[in-house]
Amino acid sequence: MTSPGAVLLPCVMLIVTAILLGFGIPKVMGVNLKDSATTSVEVCMKNVVLPIFVAMHSLHDLDAALASMVYTAGMVPAAAAVMIAFNLLKKTAEKEELRD
């Protein structure tokens, strides 16, 4: 069986790239901050379970599912971090508006 450490770096790179592109492209196209953050999370979370299901049930190979499992394990906290950061920034901006 392949080690999870062997796929860790590519999975982290994919997560970071997906978050940045998922947020950056909508933002450049004029989408508001809330929808850009939502798109960023959705791009990362879309179909994360499907490759695991196909690898385990159709291919009958746990090794084939390993990269998807590592990606999913990293993506869930990353998606939560994006949403927490967005909410904190939003609350900070609202407090500053109330002060002015």
Whether residue 100 lies inside any domain: the answer is: no
Q: How many domains does the chain have?
A: 1
* Structural domain includes residue 57: yes
Ranking 15-19, 80-84, 96-100 by mean pLDDT, the lowest is 96-100
Whether the predicted pLDDT of 1 surpasses 70 = no
Which residues does 91 contact at the CB level (< 8 Å), separation at least 6?
none
* Residue 47 placed within a domain: yes
Domain contains 17: yes
Average pLDDT in the 49-55 region? 75
Structure confidence by residue, pLDDT tens digits, 26-48: 999 999 988 988 888 888 777 67
Nearest to 7 by CA among 45, 15, 77, 49: 15
Range of the domain at 47: 4-95
Q: Quick check: is 77 in a domain? A: yes
Choice between 91 and 54, residue whose per-residue pLDDT is larger: 91
| Residue-level pLDDT at 42 | 86
- Indicate whether 72 belongs to any domain: yes
